[in-house]
Amino acid sequence: GQSLEQPSEVTAVEGAIVQINCTYQTSGFYGLSWYQQHDGGAPTFLSYNGLDGLEETGRFSSFLSRSDSYGYLLLQELQMKDSASYFCAVSDYKLSFGAGTTVTVRA
Amino acid sequence: EAGVAQSPRYKIIEKRQSVAFWCNPISGHATLYWYQQILGQGPKLLIQFQNNGVVDDSQLPKDRFSAERLKGVDSTLKIQPAKLEDSAVYLCASSPRGGGSEQFFGPGTRLTVL
C-alpha cells in the first residue's frame, strides 16, 4: 500500500515563499504529483516529477528525491488566490493522495 | 475542449435509499476514475476504468457500491443502500492514459446522507 505525510496547515503573507513537504512510503512508484484544490472546487493538476530534481512552472516548483522518498512543492511570490489545499499524490498505475495541506495567504 | 461533466451537483438522501451519479469524461480519454473525498481528506480512489474494463476497484465497497462504464465513455456510480458515512463529494476524473499522467477532474457531486 501507500502512505503519504504532509503538513496539515501553513499560513504565510502575500509575497512570501512557502514549501510544502511530502514524504511517502509505497510499494510501487512511478512519480509524485501535486494538485491544488480551492474550497468547493475540483482538484487541478500542478506538476509531476518522475525523475529526481526540480521542475519549475511559473511561480510554482516541485522537487523529488526518490532515494529519500521525499518531495516538496515550492510556492513563490504568494498571492491571495493561492489560498487553497495542496495534495501530493504518488503514482504507480493509479494515484494515491495525501491528506492535503491547507495554505492560507494573509494580506 | 469541454471538461469532465458530472451530474447531479448536489444530492440529499436518507440512509438506506439509493443514489446514482453520472460522469462524462473528456472526449478521447481512455481512463476514467471515481474518487470519494470526505471533508478534510484527500480524494480516495474507488474505481479506475481503462476503456470499459476495470483496472482497480480494491477500495470500492462492493456490498453497496457499483460502477459501470458502458461503451468506454460515460460512467455511472451507484450506492445502494446509502449509509451516513457515505456523505462526501464524489469526484470523477479522466486522463488520456493511466499511471501518473495528469488527471482532469469534474466539479463533483456533493452527497449528504441524513
Cα A34 to its chain centre, rounded Å, is 4
DSSP code of A15? T
| Residue A82 DSSP SS3 | helix
Cβ atoms within 10 A of the Cβ of B80, count? Answer: 13
Inform me whether the pLDDT recorded for A92 exceeds 90: no
Which residues of chain B fall short of a pLDDT of 50?
none
pLDDT tens per residue across span A44-71? 999 999 999 999 989 999 999 999 999 9
Distance from CA of B14 to the nearest CA of A (A): 23
DSSP string, B32-79: EEEEEE-TTS--EEEEEEETTEEEE-TTS-TTTEEEE-GGGS-EEEEE
Cβ <8 Å between A91 and B48: no
B99 contacts in A (CB within 8 Å)? 30, 91-93
